[in-house]
Chains A and B, each alone.
Chain A
Amino acid sequence: MNPDCELQASHDNETVCLTFLGSWTIHVTPCGFPDLTKLFSPQTKRLIFNSEHLIEWDSRLLVKLSRITEIADKHSIEVDLKGLPSGVRKLLRLTQKKTFAPPDRTFCPPGVLEEIGNHTIGFYQQAIDMLAFTGDILLLYIRFFTGRARYLKKDFIYFLYDCGPQALPIVALISFLVGFTLAFIGSVQLRMFGADIYVANLVGLTMTREMGPMMAAIIMAGRTGASYAAQLGTMQVNEEIDALQTMGINPLDFLVLPRLTALIIMMPLLAICADFIGIIGGFFIGVFSLDISPILYYEQTIKAIHLKHFLVGMIKSVVFGYLVAFCGCIKGMHCGRSADAVGKATTSAVVTAIVFIVITDAVFTFFFNVLGI
């Protein structure tokens, strides 16, 4: 255990002598010190120090001395540092040496009103950025279809593989469980009316029109959308995007085109798989829990699902694919240049994509209903 630190004050006519005793380090328990504000009388002209009994010191001593010298300066008292260890004297001099001009304004945490204002401006700016990015993507596809876009085909193939076959196991697992749960919940209600067989309709329609495309999109938002934002954000931090621009390569062509196109192509395929596997999940409950014959369940499912239901799901999944890739890419491309900014971009990409997916799904459902599809 370190010995405690102590400060003693002695007065001699116009001089005050402060004696430091013990171990003045940040790891010792502080003990009573004289009240610094009452240390000096109007007669005091000089302050001296005694460090003969000082065992060891670090920042704790420096902080104390800074405080004492500040008070002495206020009382216009001459401070004589001779009695202090030479290292302490040097460090005190170093603290008074100005290298950088003190900032003309300090960074204070914003108040509530300022915070609301910042968020409003930020929200408005994001909306403008998204519109601009949508326009950029339109131009990007004009360049692509006219053969003027510069990108690597191997990148495109890699992203096709990454957001297709690589994502399939997790999409399959979640879709199976969604179909399974739907059938289970539905069967409890339908059994009350003796309409167990309609579980096949419920699962088939829900999976093809809603849950298949939506679950695939939500999984891809968390998996691929986040990865796009993190990849592009890190490239922004490492100035890789600047390097592309200075070479005259449009980063949108090179980075966004393969990612966006790959996800737009792969999302409907994943949705088809999700539909099918979800129906199988429902089939398990129908056959093993409700004792519906497999043939009957199959025929009921075929009878319930029409081509239009399937196409509704496909249209949704193409749009969801675009939204997930769009959110991932825009957040990555507009990311700040720090590790913290990459984290925020990734979170924002996932949250924005999921919100857009749910809103778009509601809009689609409303319009298809109005159109009688």
Chain B
Amino acid sequence: MTNITPLIDVQNLTMAYGDFILQKNLTFSVKKGSIFAIMGESGCGKSTLLRHLTGLKRPAAGDIYFSDKNFWQSSKKSRVQRMQKCGVLYQSGALWSSMTIGENIALPLQQFTSLSPKLIAEIVELKLALVGLKGFSKYPPSAISGGMRKRAGLARAIALDPEIVFFDEPSAGLDPISSRMLDDLILELRDSMGATIVIVTHELPSIFALADDSVFLDTETRTMLATGNPKILAKESDNLKVKQFLSRSLSPTEQP
């Protein structure tokens, strides 16, 4: 299902806020068509890494390549074009509250394509149907539940049929059933659209259900401790902290 072409390549990335170095020497790659999880404890810099990958924050050092093209060394215009091929689902859905759900999804289509309003409306309905929200286009974001807002956010994120979809804590604040349904939806969208998925999460069920590959960030050493398939890491990693995290145990010796 997945091939070996790396779509995102991170080389010796250092993330910092002023003088404070959050993470250093991060090197990993995300294969095309795969689901890649960014894992780690709270405060380790997962969301900051996502900000670097989505072009919102410039690295303190190191490089990020998209399809072998250095993102931060390319022109602003090509960076914007690159980001148009990416969709992001934020923790809260981040829907624009002054617009209806349909208008939220239509906005990128209106801005970046020359499609007719009728076709845009049809695409909006299609995207809503894909995320299980058919008939909700006239609703304001405030009138739907948190789980539905995330689905609507996902519909907006895939409005332009992106090559890569980033998810920031997709399961946060959702009940287990909604969380499972969202995980299934992510898998179905990946399988059908062929998009590459990058997920920031510390929800173990989601990590094991979705991720083909992962990177584990550590707060203490401020660097990555492991990279690879999380199921394999849970069994075979030499690093106790990684094993402890993936087995949800309090001590390295405790069995899951």
Contacts and interface: CB of A to CB of B under 8 A. Distances in A.
Given A26-B160, A100-B133, A338-B141, A94 B188 contact: yes
A95 interface: yes
Contacts, number: 82
Interface string A30-67: 00000000000000000000000000001110110011
Nearest to A67: B122
A337 B123 contact: no
Interface stretch (B46-54, B166-174, B190-198): B190-198
A27 interface: yes
Contact of A103 (B109, B136, B160, B188): B136
Interface residues of B, number: 36
Contacts of A88: 192
A62 B130 CA distance: 11
Nearest to A62: B126
B119 A63 contact: yes
Contacts of B126: 59, 62-63, 66, 95
A338 B192 CA distance: 34
Interface string A71-106: 000000000000000111011001111111011001
B249 to A, nearest CB: 33
A341 interface: yes
Contacts of B115: 26
A121 interface: no
A90 B194 CA distance: 11
A107 B101 CA distance: 11
Interface in B98-148: 98, 100, 109, 113, 115, 119, 122-123, 126-127, 129-136, 138-143, 148
Contacts of B129: 94-96
B130 A95 contact: yes
Contacts of A340: 97-98
Contact of B181 (A63, A66, A87, A99): A99
30 contacts: A25-B161, A26-B161, A27-B113, A58-B161, A59-B126, A63-B122, A63-B123, A63-B126, A67-B122, A87-B193, A88-B192, A94-B130, A94-B192, A95-B130, A95-B134, A96-B129, A98-B132, A98-B134, A99-B151, A100-B132, A100-B133, A102-B134, A102-B135, A102-B136, A103-B136, A106-B135, A107-B140, A107-B143, A336-B142, A339-B98
When A and B form their complex, which 10 residue pairs have the shortest distance between CB atoms, in order from nearest? A99-B132, A90-B192, A338-B97, A102-B135, A95-B129, A58-B161, A340-B97, A340-B98, A107-B138, A91-B192
